[in-house]
Amino acid sequence: MNSTRRKLAIATWGPPDEGNIFGKLTIDAGAALQWIDKTRAATGEKVTITHMVGKAIALGLAKAPQINGRITLGSYIPFDTVDVTFLVALEDGADLAKAKIANLDKRPVADIAAELRVRADKLRKGQDDEFEKSKGVLRALPTWLLRPILWLTGWLTSSLGISLPALGLEAFPFGSCVVTSVGMLGIDEAFAPHTPFARVPLLVLVGAVKDTVVARDGVPVVRPMLTLTATIDHRFVDGTQLATVAKTIRGVLENPDLLDK
């Protein structure tokens, strides 16, 4: 039997016909790894690179509000808050769920890690009521019927901001960005495809941290390098706005004391 994720893919994806931008950042993660060790010792929370990246993205979106919003009936409408979604692997990777964190740009990284830990635990135990409702509907419907229903519910929730509690769907369910980590799977880098019903302008994949030979002041040295890749909806943004987000992400990850200021 197809997993929920596979069923969604079959029901929604067609040949690529949209204008997307693909971007890549390679960042020296040495300072970030030291900051993680220090923060774990101080808070007892299992902070990871993914949590740091999510916060860095949110800070970038706050500086580039042209990306932090939605397109509704042909017009761009900014969001009042910076909300970012993290994907959570279920059933040993056979399925995926989401956990949206609101006001991410204003949250300490340790708090983000704590909330995601609690949310992920509930999802894996089948205790998240919204996810269980939506999963039940998805599994009950035939694939051919899912396409129009997902388009309609995506438009209502992600474009108009209408909650559908009976289906387990909240308003703006994905925020402005979806973050997922593939580094834990041993994948150095990859690019995520847009999921049409999510209507999210920015998708970011967190790759593996790898020891890499790089040049520092003309001298080859080995440094732990992190690769981030992004898929961006070109309707929202051009190079100038992307540069603002990219510079912010690089700046705070290479100087992580800025994350919680």
Q: Tens digit of pLDDT for each residue in 157-192?
A: 999 999 999 999 999 999 999 999 988 788 888 898
Rounded-to-integer distance, Cα 253 and Cα 184, Å: 19
Question: Structural domain tally of the chain?
Answer: 1
Rounded-to-integer distance, Cα 73 and Cα 242, Å: 24
Cα 101 to the center of its chain, rounded Å: 10
137 in any annotated domain: yes
Closest CA to 142 of 7, 5, 12: 7
Helices (H), the chain: 4-12, 30-43, 49-63, 109-124, 129-140, 143-154, 239-254
CA torsion sign for 128, 48, 184, 177 is positive
CATH number, residue 54? 3.30.559.10
| pTM to 2 decimal places | 0.91
88 in any annotated domain: yes
Segment 201-234, tens digit of pLDDT: 999 999 999 999 999 999 999 999 999 999 998 8
261 in any annotated domain: no
Segment 126-153, tens digit of pLDDT: 999 999 999 888 888 898 999 899 999 9
Q: CB–CB of 130/168 below 8 Å? A: yes
Residue 216 CB partners (closer than 8 Å, separation 6+):
223
Helix (H) or strand (E) holding 222: strand 219-233
238 in any annotated domain: yes
19 in any annotated domain: yes
In this structure, what DSSP letter does residue 221 have?
E
Strand-pairing partners, residue 69, are 78
Segment 55-74, tens digit of pLDDT: 999 999 999 988 899 988 88
Longest dimension (CA), the chain: 61
Cα 228 to the center of its chain, rounded Å: 11
Rounded-to-integer distance, Cα 226 and Cα 35, Å: 15
Checking if the pLDDT of 78 tops 70, the result is: yes
pLDDT over 70 percentage in the chain: 95
Residue 178 belongs to what domain range?
4-254
Helices vs. strands in the chain: H and E counts, helices first: 7, 8
Strand order through the sheet with 20-28: 20-28, 219-233, 202-216, 177-181, 84-90, 95-101
**Per-residue model confidence (pLDDT) at position 71:** 87
Output phi, psi for 116, to 5 deg.
-65, -35
Rounded-to-integer distance, Cα 245 and Cα 239, Å: 10
236 in any annotated domain: yes
DSSP 145-172: HHHHHHHHHHIIIIIS---BGGGTB-SS
Residue with tokens 């519910």: 153
